[in-house]
Structure 1
């Protein structure tokens, strides 16, 4: 019977939840049909070339009967671009809508679903800013129709970071490093580059955190820059529309947002539901929509509506819409927790319940702001990715072996160690023979040898990795060491340092908006404490 169970990441839908999804889909179709949108349904299976911009690891790959490469669609916009490119005669402006499932690979046994139902609209051929306003209007109208009052519009622009970076006196390597740090909200990486740049703008000192109220402050400071003022003008136009038509909806900006997909070219608009910590809708302008399918490009604005978020909001309301949830901090048990507690306390977090944990695993701070969950290190990221945890504190060695769906915000500079390549004294690191490497960290080891241009055989171990070279199981090991004493006692020599290891603070993306005031204060306080240690 074991071969009859569902594949990991899939699920059956039935009963009340399926009826709700059908009702949602019916209302969306009815509304958009009335607005003269054209319904379109593209195949679940597409040629791999349609999604060549996607990372191969994120999609499901198939083969057709003649050996062609296919994928389960991870996106519903690019198939529409493929459809449009096949039509010789196109109207100046076309309006499409879709409702369908997309498939994206998730971490095996993570508890995440591979399949998600989306609805969306595409305004094709409209280069005017009225298209953005029309698309946002439709999304906010749906929010009202589905009874979701707690929605916040977050505006950004895919051109902004590059434009502002271009005004700084920096080289290409600095520019690339800053952009990556800003988009990933990695304050440690950002600071490492920023301090090397003379006359770095004062108002951009905390650029990765420039969203919400802080983002608005920086926006007003930058609005007179020629490289920036046309973007601000569009944002203000959108905000003015929302304030007039939907006065109860808050509007804010994100000056550190990454482009959702490579084909985006301008304004990005997202609808965030703070009570859920997740997005209801997202989209924006992508005037390079048809670049991969035909010579001539075509302006377009699209918005996707997450049907699963609507259903989550209904379930949330049924429980208690007025409930105020604490910020959930998921702490790796053991040394990580012990080393981190003094830092959290100094940063203003009331950790009193953690001082005498006994056998408890869940603790609420006396002020009700934080809830702490103690778990094994390998489980920290899973709690964040499932939306149970908001902040994760765990070693970077654990993070390195898992899929990254969160912001790696700070290196807390505790639990410091190193990944090293070690072996017996007769090991030749430059030997051209294929090496056998024992490790608990196959992803780290694979990346290290890939950078060296070497193909090696990896042996995954769970116990004492040092035994590998001693017993002939492996030629060398990649492992963590703090002092090197254990390696020395086993006659192993360190041949290279692979990477630094330390405890990191992770934040679930939605939590940064959901708890932006408290989390920004926490991050700022910790950064101040870390700078005082230097």
Structure 2
């Protein structure tokens, strides 16, 4: 046993870095104590039922000595809600604050940390919009105190997308798919769904990209919807307050934002630091989470500050920051890179440095607007989600097998192929009690058979999957084919078409805000280039 090894995703903290973090934490404690907030501390381990709103895979599960299901807390608001319900302290306005660690499941071998320190406030029992103003003021004051100079406030609302979609006569399935496409910034899927809605409003033609200046432009035209106008009037109040008290802080909106927490019911406020490509604080209103003894719900507003982001900002050399850091595009080497280069060029991206790559792997454009990194397909998402890249371009077959912590924005319509279920021509699945399926894509195959309601045994292969049925290792395969020639040569037939494969344009979530003007322009141009000819916009 190696006693020096840490658990995956964990880290030791030591010396000057830990001292800096302790100083940050002590400053937060002193400020909130002086402002009259009441400290509250909840245990690291909670009953699983406290977090029943979370997807199971997003939390660490434990068992106590009695076999009770427990979790390491991924969130601090829900434990405080549990504390308040148990202690019935919600009869008047209560201002609480916390400082503690939360734990998130991470992708194996991703290099991420699963432990994060948060400091936050909860304003309980305040129905008026003064709670939102107070929460934002508290966070901006901390940003100012810690010398974070480039905070951008992003406003959204948990109700907004639903309120706008209610204006259209849609069945529940289309409504749900449309909302998902908007929140995931999936332009390709959004365009497909949009054609099913007659007289779709022009101001929402690029709804998944309706943030920043695009969002502010669309916002004014949506104020005709009474419920939406009420939300946007509140946004104007927050913007006016910020401009008066923090004139250097930019305020913008996101009309396509997904709610960061499932229990939010109204205004969502996030503080983004463009130079770090990360959020400093986030929070929102949650008016249905708490209730009194008589079951009457209690209004509440909470905001959390990421201590590690404060620390990261303090430890960097601001003088070395470039005003024009390049947008980093991580490209899958080989056919993907060759196929998308003409598209990128037509969309206004200088790709000339890629014309004669020789043995180089990193290329900067002459104007320093873009940097290209060529990597193996399986590494594209890792570079993207670790913050090294801003844009990733890779096949959807690769994406299907990896965890997604980015936006899958656009199907570029290159590298087209399809996933198929194939087997020898005498394949009779109904006569086999449990199919053995050979594949390079176990995640996709598992989902396919789950949707079919079939229980199968998956066999992960790295080499020629076609050998599976031929040698008797498997009954059938799920694999990619373009022409079907390899299947025919190995005497295999297609029994079902599982789904399309093509090259996709991915964007890291922080980068879409950090480089919003440049990236939204490129995305719109690419969308027009790959759209069916009759749908090309003038």
Pick the TM interval, shorter chain: over 0.9
1:228 aligns to what SS in structure 2? helix
1:2 aligns to what SS in structure 2? coil
Partner residue in 2 for 1:141 = 141
Deviation per CA, 1:1-42, whole angstroms, max 9, x where unpaired?
A: 535411111111111111111010000000000011111111
Matched, 1:209 2:209: yes
Mapping of residues 60-459 of structure 1, within 5 Å: 60-290=60-290, 295-318=295-318, 320-431=320-431, 433-459=433-459
Matched, 1:514 2:514: yes
- Checking the alignment, whether the CA contact within 8 Å between 1:63 and 1:70 is kept in structure 2 is yes
* Residue 276 of structure 1, CA deviation: 1.0
- Checking the alignment, whether the CA contact within 8 Å between 1:120 and 1:304 is kept in structure 2 is yes
List gaps (5 residues or longer) in structure 2. Answer: none
- Checking the alignment, whether the CA contact within 8 Å between 1:383 and 1:389 is kept in structure 2 is yes
Farther off after superposition, 422-431 or 139-148: 422-431
User: 2 CA distance for matches of 1:209 and 1:49?
Assistant: 36
Mapping of residues 446-485 of structure 1, within 5 Å: 446-485=446-485
- Checking the alignment, whether the CA contact within 8 Å between 1:85 and 1:294 is kept in structure 2 is no
Deviation per CA, 1:216-262, whole angstroms, max 9, x where unpaired?
A: 00011111221311011100111111011111111111000111111
2:405 aligns to what SS in structure 1? coil
Closer/same/farther in 2, CA of residues 511 and 294 from structure 1, 3 Å limit = farther
Partner residue in 2 for 1:29 = 29
1:16 aligns to what SS in structure 2? helix
- Checking the alignment, whether the CA contact within 8 Å between 2:364 and 2:370 is kept in structure 1 is yes
* TM-score w.r.t. length of structure 2: 0.97
* Residue 171 of structure 1, CA deviation: 2.0
- Checking the alignment, whether the CA contact within 8 Å between 2:271 and 2:279 is kept in structure 1 is yes
* TM-score w.r.t. length of structure 1: 0.98
User: 1 CA distance for matches of 2:59 and 2:294?
Assistant: 24
Closer/same/farther in 2, CA of residues 190 and 154 from structure 1, 3 Å limit = same
* Residue 294 of structure 1, CA deviation: 9.0
Matched, 1:528 2:528: yes
* Residue 370 of structure 1, CA deviation: 0.3
2:316 aligns to what SS in structure 1? helix
- Checking the alignment, whether the CA contact within 8 Å between 1:391 and 1:506 is kept in structure 2 is yes
How many pairs does the alignment contain? 534
Deviation per CA, 1:435-474, whole angstroms, max 9, x where unpaired?
A: 1111110000000000011111111111111111111111
Deviation per CA, 1:87-132, whole angstroms, max 9, x where unpaired?
A: 1354411111111111111110110111111111110111110000
Deviation per CA, 1:320-378, whole angstroms, max 9, x where unpaired?
A: 24453100000011111111111111111100111111111100011110000001111
* Residue 512 of structure 1, CA deviation: 0.7
Closer/same/farther in 2, CA of residues 20 and 226 from structure 1, 3 Å limit = same
- Checking the alignment, whether the CA contact within 8 Å between 2:90 and 2:292 is kept in structure 1 is no
User: 1 CA distance for matches of 2:490 and 2:206?
Assistant: 46
- Checking the alignment, whether the CA contact within 8 Å between 1:81 and 1:293 is kept in structure 2 is no
Q: CA RMSD in A?
A: 1.5
Matched, 1:42 2:48: no
2:402 aligns to what SS in structure 1? coil
Partner residue in 2 for 1:498 = 498
Closer/same/farther in 2, CA of residues 167 and 51 from structure 1, 3 Å limit = same
1:18 aligns to what SS in structure 2? helix
User: 2 CA distance for matches of 1:349 and 1:292?
Assistant: 57
* Residue 273 of structure 1, CA deviation: 0.6
1:496 aligns to what SS in structure 2? strand
User: 2 CA distance for matches of 1:195 and 1:481?
Assistant: 29
Closer/same/farther in 2, CA of residues 533 and 16 from structure 1, 3 Å limit = farther
- Checking the alignment, whether the CA contact within 8 Å between 2:410 and 2:506 is kept in structure 1 is yes
- Checking the alignment, whether the CA contact within 8 Å between 2:421 and 2:497 is kept in structure 1 is yes
